[in-house]
Structure 1
Amino acid sequence: MTVPESTYRVQLRPEFTFSDAAEIAGYLRELGIGALYASPVLDATPGSTHGYDVVDPTRARPELGGEDARKNLSAKLRELGLGLVVDIVPNHMSVEVPKANRFWWDVLKHGRDAEFAAYFDVDWARGPILLPVLGDDDAVAELTVEDDELVYYDHRFPIAPGTEGGTPQEVHERQHYRLIGWRRGNAELSYRRFFDITNLAAVRVEDPTVFVETHGEVLRWVAEGDVTGLRVDHPDGLADPGDYFRRLRENAPNAWIVAEKILHPGEPLPQSWRVDGTTGYDALREIAGVFVDPAGEPGFTELANELGVKTGYHRVEAEARRLVTDKILVAEVRRIAALLRDVDAEQARQAVAETMIAFPVYRSYLPEGAANWATAIAGVKTARPDLESALDALDAQVRAEPGGELATRIQQTSGMVVAKGTEDTTFYRYTRFAALNEVGGNPDRFGLDVEEFHRLAAGREAGHPAAMTTLTTHDTKRSEDTRARMAVLAELPGEFADAVRRWSARRGIGEPSLNLLAWQTLVATWPIEPPRLRDYLDKAAKEGKLRTSWTDHDEAFEADVAAWPEDVLGDAELAADVEAFVARIAGPGYANSLGQKLVQLTAPGVPDVYQGTELWDFSLVDPDNRRPVDYGTRRELLKRIADGEQPGIDATGAAKLLVVHKALRLRQDHPGLFRGYRPLRAEGVAAEHVLAYTRGADLAVAVTRLPVGLEAAGGWRDTVLPLPDGVWTDVLTGREATADVATLFERYPVALLVRGDA
């Protein structure tokens, strides 16, 4: 199996193609990367900036350069000794531009008799496929016929053979589909989709024929050695993820395979999955958490309550999930409920919805994960005794037929309810302390102690040493450095609360949760350009769905939010106050950034570096995190570091590049050092501010945590870090290490130590 020592994630798009990726391959090799990790490379919706909207899985995307450029990239990587990991999307395909997707076009044209009818999860019993693309139902009057196609502005649809003639409206009534008002989609859609995105139609990869058709090209690349690893997007949406991964592994026995699986604390990766691990959100939660001070929780809770931000996490989460079942995924819930036998339709709907709301994890994989299913059923029975009879029927039918349609669909959909309700709604409503509001995170747990971190890291080394670890992805709510600076606030709850009170009195946002999120975001990303902050707050407001949303707009509120960044930055006195506060937390934020990065790069797992984050990167949620990367600057700084420069910790971010380069090159040149895991424990008055461990016998890592508290308490003083016998050298500085922590961290707040001539 080809397990890379590390990966570097790039976001391919028409402006950054296969050829552009090939041009940075040499830089990645010098940086110390083991494999290029690319966003989806198969043909996608025209103009797509991310590639997850695949339209043709049988060819490399022409807008990225097509097959020739793909092969050139693979050849370049192979020449440099780099692997290639590609992101694949088995759950859905884009149908936004029907003609771009020949499979969907065929289904629309020929209906259930189409060659590719079995490829999509369509409820044919509902009649024609409902396509919610019209401004409203009356807009069917605006249809025209052009070139044997039905046309609605920029939308074009096929006309079935033999259905021509008459008015466009008469032609429309003869088709295997019906164009309807877009607002009807959530409640009446007749095909399964990805979350609430009607332009992404679910694909039935559980059908062997569909699997072969949709995976054949990528698996050919694997077989030919062009692709060495696969990152599988959203497996929880599949009918049977365990079976899917069995087939994938059988067809790619030597590939490194990681699954985008969100694990709740304590939840194991399903044993039936033949993968090397997750894509690392569990590691992100643990690494980021150990740099958060639990002592800050009461102060942030008090501030949130004072401002009117809800602080009962599980209640907020349940409300958000219920919004999803009752308003957004209505069609999916009804389709599932209709499968429950001998139960009143409304009782069945409520039982299905409440069970998914109550799920303690994203989903179960019955018979695997039966305990989570039982927890959900029991929880609803306690909260809703009026549904006991329906719940008993649901439980009995699902357990009796774990591979049946009811069990399959409710498990597929529970992950959608949890993800949409928690990640995409609750995390924008429950804004008490936003550094915890991360994919895979649990905001009700304020930080992680060192001993728990050690236990979890040792568990990863024992169970999934080849799992990916990450701190930033294309899906994270904020980048690692934004999160690291935000974590400093947990050490200054009183100071931050006083600042927020001053600032809110002067320029607050009218919705409390967005207001608190906005101030945390402003100080964590300062200095940020107003348009970036405006776009982020607009998205946050709509995802939170409290005063406005993507579908039901409060135009006046949105205008106030849009004006807020310029209003704050245009208020000279307020801006100066914010800037002074940021100056207080910037240095500790840098220390957190360096600490969590060195831990991620050296702890068990395969570390991924998201594009550009080898320097400071204060990005927010997509699309902000897909902005172009200045590789010219990075090349210049890397050359200076490779020539021996030891940069200071300043706004250039060169110190982070030093840490990334030295750690990656050590992994690249001496992979044998990174085996095993044992805690190292400091001694002395400031011991709690050290996180340290060994990997094998000859590698030790030590980093600073909670730097504000450390300084306030008087620094390191007599604190020591006893090291195993021998002469240890800090790879970052070239200096011989000493047990005295103050001396060890004299140059940088982190140390990467090797023993002897290792």
Structure 2
Amino acid sequence: MKELSATLRLQFHRGFTLDDATALVDYFAELGISHLYASPLLTARPGSMHGYDVIDPTRINPELGGEPALRRLVAALREKGMGLILDIVSNHMAVGGAGNAWWLDVLEWGRRSPYALFFDIEWNSPDPLLEGQLLVPFLGSDYGEALQQGKVVLTLDADNGSLYAEHYEHRFPITPPSYGEVLRAADHPQLRALAQHFDALKTEPAPYQTARLLRSELAQQLEDAGTRQALEQALKLYDGTSAEGFQRLHGLLERQHYRLASWRTAADDINWRRFFDINELGGLRVERPVVFEETHAKIFQLIADGLVDGLRIDHIDGLADPRGYCRRLRRRVDRLNAGRPPQALQDHVPIYVEKILAAGERLHDDWGVDGTTGYEFMNQVSLLQHDPAGEALLCALWSDSSGRGADFLEEARQARQLVLTGPLAGDFESVAQALLQVARGDVMTRDITLGAIRRALLELIIHFPVYRTYIAAPGRRRLDEPFFQQALEGARSTLGEATGHCSSTSGAGSAAKACAICHVARCASCAARPASVSSS
């Protein structure tokens, strides 16, 4: 196989499949390409044009031709001595809709679902309406309006013996312990008898497997046309367009492990991590071994089989522990590489990360990766295309148009504030609430108010000069300390003594403990050591 020297990025979708790429391999070879660089190939949401919205990480997307087509492409590449770099999405997967079985299972069973720990969910919300529930902000209008207009419909999947609420393309499973009331409404002897067994799930310690058996039994009963008709008639009693149906449907939905809500509520009330502010992409907890293994099993198989020769990791900074993830991935890839087929053996399988490096920042050298995807190089190339003499003219145009100064950093800070108080307000509030709980756990910081924490946290983030910093068991990494101190100094200069914040830069002693900025900074330094955060 050729040394990695020139890659060609291919964006796969149902209009450009793996077989379409195979037909072009000769042409790519003539261009001098050493490796194709493929967009994500795991099963994505139907019709996806990019592949970053994975719904099933256990198989190659059938819309692209599936694994057989991938093997045909790799065979053609091998004939030309070429390789394949694969883009993978470790941070998130697509949620909502009806295609992600893991997500649907969480909606159905809440914290009891084996997949509940796969997603980054805050089940213990300070909002009593969300305690133990998952906010599901996928309704096109306000909740009450959607029910009243009949846009949330209780639906039967007779083949699988399951019930769910449907809203356009979205499916919201009804938890099996709630089936009893619906089955009794059918006023059918067999269904009433089965309803009692579903009711018993409410007190059963491990209802997961029992529910599967009961649904199978329900599906068998629904093979009888009369039984099915009786249940379908009962579902009409949950029609939200009538007053009685509205109350009945609302009552049923209130007993689920999720709370249906308008998409507009996500900015303020979201209680699970998304990819930025995109409701359809839910964050994954790949720092947990079981999640790492389940989400990467197919990738590892492709590497072991000699089909993939390098990896590009999407949005590495979305992970809780990028360093730990990369090092774990490196160890596994190196082991797999040693056992690859002879024709696919490599001295080294490269791993590249999508990482935004700011001015003066460099990639940590202990991650075990081969570099970034090159945004910093792209920025340098872009500079060559800009005439420095045009800066003054553009600044004058900006000031004339906006009525504001031409200080770019000030504009960036204002933009960050808009994001933190707008699209990411709910995420920001979750962090503030967590910091409040830490403060309340220490007698020296318990007088720090939620308002003070919000102000300090806001200014600290606004003044951050880099995308993010990193911590490990000993604390913040040495390379990141100057960036954090810069943010800390900026926050102090903005808030100042007048707002009751100390001007200490040491972060030590009782003065620091009584200061919201110091409290936030202290927690940020010790987030990897939760036991030490609340200790004095």
Same fold, judged at TM 0.5 (above): yes
Which residue type is aligned with residue 114 of structure 2?
A: E
Which residue type is aligned with residue 315 of structure 2?
A: H
C-alpha separation between the residues in 2 aligned to 1:230 and 1:79? 21
> CA separation of 1:309/1:247 partners in 2, compared to 1, >3 Å: closer, same or farther?
farther
1:144 aligns with 2:153: yes
Query: How far does the alpha carbon of each residue in 1:127-177 deviate from its partner, in whole angstroms, 9 at most, with x for none?
Result: 210111121121233322111111123321111112023533222111101
Q: 1:295 aligns with which of 366, 389, 398?
A: 389
Which residue type is aligned with residue 267 of structure 1?
A: E
> Aligned with 1:302: secondary structure?
helix
Structure 2 counterparts to residues 255-654 of structure 1, below 5 A: 255-308=349-402, 310=404, 311-340=406-435, 341-342=438-439, 343-366=448-471, 367-368=476-477, 369-385=480-496, 386=499, 387-388=501-502, 389-404=515-530
Which residue type is aligned with residue 140 of structure 1?
A: L
Query: How far does the alpha carbon of each residue in 1:193-232 deviate from its partner, in whole angstroms, 9 at most, with x for none?
Result: 1100011110000001100100111111112211001110
Query: How far does the alpha carbon of each residue in 1:670-722 deviate from its partner, in whole angstroms, 9 at most, with x for none?
Result: xxxxxxxxxxxxxxxxxxxxxxxxxxxxxxxxxxxxxxxxxxxxxxxxxxxxx
The residue number in structure 2 matching 1:436 is none
Structure 2 counterparts to residues 108-123 of structure 1, below 5 A: 108-123=107-122
- Consecutive unaligned residues of structure 1, counting only runs of 5 or more, are 408-758
1:179 aligns with 2:184: no
Q: What is the TM-score of this pair, normalised by structure 2?
A: 0.73
C-alpha separation between the residues in 1 aligned to 2:16 and 2:102? 27
The residue number in structure 2 matching 1:129 is 134
C-alpha separation between the residues in 2 aligned to 1:278 and 1:309? 38
Q: State the Cα distance separating 1:287 from its structure 2 match.
A: 1.8
> CA separation of 1:309/1:220 partners in 2, compared to 1, >3 Å: closer, same or farther?
farther
> Aligned with 2:422: secondary structure?
helix
Q: State the Cα distance separating 1:286 from its structure 2 match.
A: 1.1
> CA separation of 1:405/1:84 partners in 2, compared to 1, >3 Å: closer, same or farther?
farther
Contact kept in structure 1, 2:2 and 2:81, CA below 8 Å: no
> Aligned with 1:391: secondary structure?
helix
The residue number in structure 1 matching 2:172 is 157
Q: 1:207 aligns with which of 266, 269, 288?
A: 288
Query: How far does the alpha carbon of each residue in 1:228-265 deviate from its partner, in whole angstroms, 9 at most, with x for none?
Result: 01110001010000000001101112321111001112
How many aligned positions are there? 406
C-alpha separation between the residues in 1 aligned to 2:8 and 2:378? 16
Q: State the Cα distance separating 1:328 from its structure 2 match.
A: 1.1
> CA separation of 1:323/1:278 partners in 2, compared to 1, >3 Å: closer, same or farther?
same
Q: State the Cα distance separating 1:320 from its structure 2 match.
A: 0.7
> Aligned with 1:86: secondary structure?
strand
Structure 2 counterparts to residues 720-735 of structure 1, below 5 A: none
> CA separation of 1:306/1:40 partners in 2, compared to 1, >3 Å: closer, same or farther?
same
Which residue type is aligned with residue 110 of structure 1?
A: W
Q: State the Cα distance separating 1:299 from its structure 2 match.
A: 2.6
Which residue type is aligned with residue 265 of structure 1?
A: A
C-alpha separation between the residues in 2 aligned to 1:196 and 1:313? 24
C-alpha separation between the residues in 1 aligned to 2:320 and 2:15? 35
Structure 2 counterparts to residues 95-114 of structure 1, below 5 A: 95-97=95-97, 99-114=98-113
> CA separation of 1:270/1:65 partners in 2, compared to 1, >3 Å: closer, same or farther?
same
> CA separation of 1:355/1:218 partners in 2, compared to 1, >3 Å: closer, same or farther?
same
> CA separation of 1:37/1:405 partners in 2, compared to 1, >3 Å: closer, same or farther?
farther
Query: How far does the alpha carbon of each residue in 1:371-424 deviate from its partner, in whole angstroms, 9 at most, with x for none?
Result: 2122111110111122441011111233244444999xxxxxxxxxxxxxxxxx
Q: State the Cα distance separating 1:305 from its structure 2 match.
A: 3.0
Contact kept in structure 2, 1:336 and 1:406, CA below 8 Å: no
> CA separation of 1:309/1:252 partners in 2, compared to 1, >3 Å: closer, same or farther?
farther
> CA separation of 1:32/1:290 partners in 2, compared to 1, >3 Å: closer, same or farther?
same
- Consecutive unaligned residues of structure 2, counting only runs of 5 or more, are 126-131, 157-162, 183-247, 335-347, 440-447, 503-514
Query: How far does the alpha carbon of each residue in 1:555-590 deviate from its partner, in whole angstroms, 9 at most, with x for none?
Result: xxxxxxxxxxxxxxxxxxxxxxxxxxxxxxxxxxxx
Q: Give percent identity, aligned residues only.
A: 40
Q: State the Cα distance separating 1:280 from its structure 2 match.
A: 0.6
RMSD between aligned alpha carbons? 1.9
Contact kept in structure 1, 2:460 and 2:487, CA below 8 Å: yes
The residue number in structure 2 matching 1:54 is 54
C-alpha separation between the residues in 2 aligned to 1:375 and 1:287? 28
Which residue type is aligned with residue 155 of structure 1?
A: H
Contact kept in structure 1, 2:118 and 2:291, CA below 8 Å: yes
Q: What is the TM-score of this pair, normalised by structure 1?
A: 0.52
Which residue type is aligned with residue 240 of structure 1?
A: D
> Aligned with 1:232: secondary structure?
strand
> CA separation of 1:309/1:228 partners in 2, compared to 1, >3 Å: closer, same or farther?
farther
Query: How far does the alpha carbon of each residue in 1:600-648 deviate from its partner, in whole angstroms, 9 at most, with x for none?
Result: xxxxxxxxxxxxxxxxxxxxxxxxxxxxxxxxxxxxxxxxxxxxxxxxx
Which residue type is aligned with residue 116 of structure 1?
A: Y
> Aligned with 1:272: secondary structure?
coil
C-alpha separation between the residues in 1 aligned to 2:269 and 2:526? 29
> Aligned with 1:162: secondary structure?
helix
